Chain A
């Protein structure tokens, strides 16, 4: 503030607590309400869809038809709390604890591989905490990777040393990111690995790293995929899923069953759907995992094109706001964090909805905000908190 030799005394009026909140520079005023509103709207729709998908599944609900509805609401509440915490902390202060978060994350995913871990739907990626709760650490690793890479890549740029991160820094960031991904690959949780690869791509793009790194990463991804396929690292169920994706008519009672039933559910929805709680595919429980990975089929069947497209539009709004936040961030750190989240949300939503629409192979990924699942919900809301934190610290003019 003394750059021109003047001392400008800033006017700081006395303000009440409410006044502080309503002031032009207050946190509430600076927050991105479209982002928050869209996220809340999606969570609300998600609550209804999860309820519709589970109210008849007595084997899952233990007789309480509101079991999943209440838990979904509770998860959303906890998620909101986490987001508020992140906002209160501020993303720059959070930057200081990133190494700690990194260590915790790696330990958590290692513990999944230990006898503590549990296999659900073919992926050994869960820790059962007890009392009906379980933790899926790979969801949090997505955040850890974004924060770790952002911290490393932006450090010298934000300090003003360099215009773009140098090769050494990029390599360093990639190695740190590769470690948890390698562990997750052992689970194997291929869906999460795919999302993380896309996150790294988004992060590298936003960091301003040389084009060679970006292109190199894309080719490495392609070669890696080919190698995985060739070397037979994949489990049979994963190969089958891809086979069923390539030809959905193949074995509609077996590996192609999910996709087949999902397509029927969505396709039969028409323009306005069969009405909430009135979908025959949903009430008849023809689509497996309908409250989690295949929750979009409930929207497609019961709310029709209007409802399903509304979910895509809301996701679009969130991604759009996140892009705007990335562009207007005051530092590269904020930009990278926001861009990483953009890549994450967009790709995960695309993969999840895409597999229910038969244009992507089946992979166990939740639909952000909508799918039932605590870990995913918490991680998503922490990301919303991060976006808001970046946004709040931008200059008023932006």
Chain B
């Protein structure tokens, strides 16, 4: 052992020290690697998380745009109401999940406590309305009808009402000018769902938690334009949700206003007349069923024939659209959607289907002409016709001898069209078709049946043309069922049909074809399809895409985006044929099937055309159809289980025309009383603040509502309750809007 000082350290210790050094450096290296991984490789992800951590968004909802009628009268706008809402997150912090608070609240609001509690529960598959289907973090509105007194009671006793707020808020209002309700056309709003928020992230206009979304009608169709863009104030907050700064604001942009072609006065008349006609029908005895007509539903459409713009569209039964505002009550909801409700939410003008009956004959006439039959030929109008062993009767079994096609339309002779159609069916090869020309089916398609008209309303149905293709598809879908039924020993009518169908249900039979020619059988149309067709007859043959929206006008009234009428088809008729049909349909008024309803009509001043229709429905009373037009307007009315066309709808349509043209009881025309003698082609004028400048004095009582909601009634009291004070504590970091 030497005395060199290092002798104390052996090679073992030296090696151990090297090991120790390697160990500790590998630890530090690990840290460096992990640091790189977090900050450089995944840095973006954490940057995003940090931002969502400390940026708290407070949303200021945009004021929804108004829906105006053709003259600028609002048919949907906003009013300021005191909305009392409760925050679920705050309520759940209470020992009893907020039951006591809600009960106290119910007492202040004079509501049943059970109702209040039901309103704040979350919707799921098992929970019936009312329930909340918005975000659980968003304050849930309890009522929007609070009085100033009630609001003050709540806000002054904050400690008794944790999580409850009362704030003035702009809410939707459907003012029903001139009592025009237009419920199904307007549609309604309801709070946005989580799914909608998620799917809206993909397109350019993401929805916010607080948004209300249009659910049907114009509210849905023009939702994006009407909704505007909510304002967002971004607060920087700390871990307790305390505001420590601001990170940029986006001011709310109010939604645009929609100008429609609806004339609220005509709309009101149409609604009233439809209702009266149905009431009247219920008093009328039906000899076939031996009871009064049920008249369970109906629709009327008034269209500008030059543009396809809808001036009035009513559907019965109807409801008050204001029922949806501020959350629908359970009773109202049941009334609107329950089994016994008769579904007033449906817009029968675009969603109601029935066979067109004889109103289809203008199409059959066109088909016959295109198939080569002369308009003025002689066609036997016998009382009945036997085809394939079945007897097809003329309506009410009348006989008129040999008549031309015009007369056949006028008096609605079924046997003429049976014959034409039967001949064509034979020419096409009968039950063994060879290159069938199918003039009747083709013409129906050319008139736009079996396809949506493209009206600017959601949920339109396309109806059905029961052509060979449809027969085949229907056969393939049902053949198994028919054959199974056919094998049973039952001898009733349905089983016999099933047995027949099992064998050759895909074959177009003679009976199918003759039925089709008079608008019976499997054909289904909507009133708006018929309005479009009769408008085309009036305007020289152009099929327009029906529209209700006329223009989208920015909230300040400065940017106007017109919605131009769009011609989407031409009738397959020559000018000569159209003229001939127009003469015949005018004859319906003067000497045809509708004449008894239009005696004294000033036909020399305002030429009116019409076609009546009475569609048979299996197991139900007949559907009444009346399709009419002048040189400017087409009016189509249908009443389910409402009797004959002229009987059920004649007086109603006549009264609508009389109101529009100002026709007096004695047949004279008082232009001062005329609501709309010619279609409104201009848009209303807008002032610099976006409000409507109106010359018409009759509607000045209605507040202009294009921009901001009208000033709150309570003035300073409401101002004190107003939201948006910076000092308030936000809901905490877990509230991410």
Contact = CB atoms under 8 A, between A and B. Distances in A.
Interface string A299-325: 011001100110010011001100100
B20 interface: yes
Interface in B36-57: 36, 38-40, 42-43, 45-47, 49-51, 53-54
A284 B244 contact: yes
A286 B40 contact: no
B20 A206 contact: yes
Nearest to B40: A305
A67 B17 CA distance: 42
Contact of A357 (B23, B35, B239): B35
A350 interface: yes
A280 B239 contact: no
Interface stretch (A28-36, A95-103, A178-186, A340-348): A340-348
Contacts of A92: none
A268 B245 CA distance: 19
A209 B352 CA distance: 96
B38 A266 contact: yes
A286 B21 contact: no
Contacts of B39: 266-267, 269-271, 300, 304-305, 308
B388 to A, nearest CB: 74
A268 B43 contact: yes
A326 interface: yes
B359 to A, nearest CB: 66
B19 to A, nearest CB: 7
Contact of A284 (B8, B34, B46, B53): B53
Given A284-B54, A343-B24, A312 B32 contact: yes
Contacts of B240: 285
A163 B10 contact: yes
Contacts of A394: 5
A312 B34 contact: no
A367 B699 CA distance: 77
A13 interface: no
Interface in A197-222: 202, 205-208
Contacts of A326: 17, 20
Interface residues of A, number: 64
Interface in A328-353: 329-332, 335, 339, 342-343, 346-347, 349-350, 353
Question: Interface majority SS on B: helix, strand, loop or mixed?
Answer: helix
Contacts of A284: 53-54, 236-239, 244
Nearest to B734: A253
Nearest to B14: A327
Contacts of B239: 284-286
Contacts of B47: 267-268, 270
A265 interface: yes
Given A205-B19, A357-B31, A357-B34, A265 B50 contact: yes
Nearest to A253: B734
A156 B23 CA distance: 28
B6 A280 contact: no
A99 B529 CA distance: 105
Contact of B30 (A56, A268, A309, A350): A350
Contacts of B1: 160
Interface string B218-249: 00000000000000000011111000100000
A263 interface: yes
A268 B28 contact: no
Among B30, B38, B40, B47: residue with most chain A CB under 10 A? B38
Contacts of A81: none
Contacts of B391: none
B24 A346 contact: yes
Among A284, A286, A308, A315: residue with most chain B CB under 10 A? A284
Contact of B16 (A206, A264, A286): A206
B238 A286 contact: yes
A271 B42 CA distance: 11
B331 interface: no
A157 interface: yes
B49 A268 contact: yes
Interface string A260-299: 0101111111110000000011011110000000000000
A208 B10 contact: yes
Contacts of B20: 202, 205-206, 323, 326, 339, 342-343
A266 B46 contact: yes
Contact of A283 (B5, B14, B238): B238
Contacts of B734: 253
Contacts of A3: 3
A323 B17 contact: yes
Contact of A312 (B8, B23, B28): B28
Contact of B43 (A270, A316, A359): A270
B77 to A, nearest CB: 42
Given A268-B49, A280-B51, A342-B20, A157 B38 contact: no
B27 interface: yes
Nearest to A324: B21
A240 interface: no
A265 to B, nearest CB: 7
Contacts of A353: 31
Interface in B176-229: none
B35 A300 contact: yes
B735 interface: no
B35 A308 contact: yes
A350 B8 contact: no
Contacts of B40: 270-271, 305
B50 A312 contact: no
A328 B34 CA distance: 33
B5 A395 contact: yes
B30 A359 contact: yes
A6 B709 CA distance: 111
Contacts of B9: 327, 329, 332, 335
Given A205-B16, A308-B35, A264 B46 contact: yes
28 contacts: A164-B10, A164-B12, A206-B13, A208-B12, A253-B734, A263-B46, A267-B38, A267-B45, A267-B46, A268-B43, A268-B50, A270-B39, A270-B47, A271-B43, A283-B238, A284-B244, A305-B39, A309-B32, A316-B25, A319-B24, A323-B20, A326-B17, A327-B14, A327-B17, A342-B20, A349-B31, A357-B38, A395-B5
Given A3-B3, A205-B17, A320-B25, 12 more contacts: A163-B10, A208-B13, A264-B50, A266-B46, A268-B49, A271-B43, A283-B244, A301-B50, A312-B35, A323-B20, A349-B27, A350-B30
